[in-house]
Amino acid sequence: MSQKTLHIAVTDDDDAVRDALAAVLEAPGRTIRTHAHGLAFIESLDEFTPDAAFLDLKMPVLTGLDVLRRIGRVPFPIIMVSAHGDIATAVEAVRLGAYDFVEKPFTPDVIETALERALSQDSDVSSQEAFITLTERETEIARALNRGLTNKEIAREFDISPRTVEIHRARVFGKLGVRNVAGLVRLIADGPGRV
């Protein structure tokens, strides 16, 4: 029984990062295609559909977000990679169709975990019913995170300490079975509108 070859696209304008990411992803049963800019990745989709893609956020001409806007929803998961990520950017990337968000510098374990999660689509959809377990304050925190607010901004909005926001945020993530804001935004976007 032959195993399916896994096709992965890597797009980053930094040669060293692109090569490092390709090296981390290289393994038997995988083919890696690299692109030096967003337009090359977009053009490659006419002849090659990857099973997953890693896309840099900050690139000249077309940013990762620009690429997401141009290609729209795709039938494969896209994992954004950036040294310049913030909560608002991660929220926008997920709303535009990204599956996850990985920060540079990354470790091989982080990349492999993101890839495995994206391919298994262990999507947080199974956690939909968990929304009803959120307290009123946790629901408010989840809504604020979904709007792209930072812990400090949420603390100011609700007149609580940033540490209290961190505690509520951890509880929200735990109850919903997500590991970061990207997972929360994806869950809310796919969900019944509870939050």
Q: How far is CA 141 from the centre of its chain?
A: 20
Most confident listed range (54-58, 101-105, 115-119): 54-58
- Residue 77: its pLDDT value, please? 92
DSSP SS3 for 101: strand
Q: When comparing pLDDT for 108 and 83, which is higher? A: 108
More confident residue, 94 or 112: 112
Q: Residue 188's pLDDT is what?
A: 80
Tokens standing for residue 193: 């509108």
The strands making up 100-103's β-sheet, listed across from edge to edge, are 30-35, 6-11, 52-56, 78-82, 100-103
pLDDT of 15: 94
- As a whole-number percent, the residues of the chain with pLDDT over 90 amount to 49
| Domain range summary for the chain, segments of one domain joined by + | 6-120, 124-190
Domain range 124-190, CATH class: mainly alpha
Residues 163-182 have pLDDT tens digits of: 999 999 999 988 888 888 88
Burial of 163 (0-12, 13-18, 19+ CB in 10 A): exposed
- The highest-confidence range among 9-23, 124-138, 173-187, by mean pLDDT, is 9-23
How does pLDDT run across 39-82, given as a tens digit for each residue? Answer: 999 999 988 899 999 999 999 889 999 999 999 878 899 999 98
CATH superfamily of 6-120: Response regulator (3.40.50.2300)
pLDDT given at position 187: 81
Percent of residues, the chain, with pLDDT higher than 70:
90
In the predicted model, is pLDDT for residue 191 greater than 80? no
